[in-house]
Structure 1
Amino acid sequence: MASIGSLTGIATTKEMPTTRRGLRTREALVKAARVVFERDGFLNARLVDITAEATCSIGTFYTYFEGKEEVFAAVIEAARHDMLHPGMPHVPEDEGPAAVIEASNRAYLVAYKRNAKLMKLMQQVAMIDPRFEEVRARSARAFGERNARRIKELQDRGLADPTVDPELAARALSLMVSRLAFECFALEEGPRDLEEIVAVCTRLWVNGLNLSA
């Protein structure tokens, strides 16, 4: 099984634990690290505070992570997975593509809102460590690629404008939603009413793709 560092691009010599106890301990350290990072920021966070939050020793920490950067990468990966797979509810096919887009936007925005502090911190860390900028870029590409496949499926079904490049449209629309989420939830600038944001994002998706009902 790949280590978290290999998933985020942050090099590590540590392997994922293979026992349930090891997995629980590592998960506890990641959860504790998130609490400390969100509370104190990346630069001020100390390993002693993370281990105290997780009620374990420094020695135990080094069993799973090389240092602060590596555990931060693990925290980011957990948040990235949460937002990429937020658990969207099933939408009946007869409700049409707009309903699916609305449900998808809502699920993403709810997940972004609960990770907003971390997303703000991630941007700050990326400015001083280019490895984390690549992590951010990789995550954006994952969202864009997934949405491009969805747009192509709608085009193949005759429901979306076939003249729109699906990859470029996906990048534009995905970046729009993520940037709006960042400003509303992480920076707390502009409206923060979830349903209002969902409605605007969905309308722009529908209009941008010229969707048929």
Structure 2
Amino acid sequence: MQSTAPSSSVDAIPKTIVQRRKSEATREALLEAARVVIARDGYTNARIVDIAREAGKSAGVFYSYFEDKTQLFSALVEAFYEDIKRVTPTPKEYDDNPAEAVKNSINAFWHAYRHFHPEMVGLLESALSDPALLEVWRNIRQRGIRRFAYRIKKQQANGKCVGMDPELSATALQGLLEFTCFNWHSEKLDFPGKRIDDAKATEELYQIISRVLEL
């Protein structure tokens, strides 16, 4: 009688990989479904049962991946944050060519905000009443604020941006960038039903910010 050798751990690896990929695919499906539902209904009115249905999953499956709607939404906003980090110029690029780096940074933020606009609207709706989302929003803002403050200090070392408080000015510049992206992408506030051209928008933002920074 031929003996059967026990399966080795190596044999189990492919199955583990398949299971992990299926798990990741399910999580991504839930996130993408959440984007659809939030864009349609708004964050406040988005329901877990609707998100699960949009993903073709049960509500029970949803809770296997996320504790609640806030945790799922935090994951969506974190994706925006990671996207920004991925395409933002490096500190060396800022030092080598600050004007070009600032322009590229504005361009990256603008396009990321367009892609993640439903999430950012939901963030603005909910962050001030949800400590977890407020912390996510604060982290996004702080990254931009630190970069603007650093650039102002560098300019002041070269005799520019005289009299500016780096931290306060950086907060104002980040607010300008952030709210303008929210406003223009919404197509509801200052320009109802009108899509602002990407190149025109980023150039206008660059002209304003570059003059403040004396680039």
Say whether 1:62 aligns with 2:66. Answer: no
Residue 204 of structure 2 corresponds to which residue in structure 1?
200
Q: In 2, are the aligned partners of 1:113 and 1:185 still within 8 Å (CA)?
A: yes
Matches within 5 A, 1:1-213: 19-82=20-83, 84-85=84-85, 87=87, 96-153=97-154, 158=158, 160-161=160-161, 164-186=164-186, 188-190=188-190, 192-211=196-215
* CA separation of 1:21 and 1:146: change in aligned 2, threshold 3 A: farther
Question: Residue by residue, what CA displacement relative to the aligned partner does 1:82-117 show, whole Å, maximum 9, x if unpaired?
Answer: 2x2362589x89x94323222221121111122222
For residue 35 of structure 2, give the secondary structure of its aligned residue in structure 1: helix
Query: 1:128–1:162: structure 2 CA closer, same or farther, 3 Å change rule?
Result: closer
User: Counting helix residues as a fraction of each chain, which structure ranks higher?
Assistant: 2
- Flag the 1:181–1:159 CA change in 2: closer, same or farther, 3 A: farther
Deviations 1:122-159 (A, max 9, x none): 21223543442343233212221133334445555x48
CA distance in 1, matches of 2:174, 2:125: 21
**Aligned equivalents of 2:38, 2:30: Cα separation in 1:** 12
Instruction: Find the counterpart in structure 1 of residue 9 from structure 2.
Output: none
- Contact 1:155–1:162 at 8 Å: present in 2 too? yes
Indicate the RMSD between aligned Cα atoms, in angstroms. 3.1
Counting aligned pairs with the same residue, the percent is: 34
Mark the structure with the bigger radius of gyration: 2
**TM-aligned CA distance change 1:21 to 1:148, over 3 Å:** farther
Between 1 and 2, higher relative CO (CA 8 Å, sep ≥ 6) is seen in 1
Secondary structure of 1:173 counterpart: helix
SS at match of 2:185: helix
3-state SS of 2:87 partner: coil
Pair 1:53–1:111, CA change in 2 (3 A): same
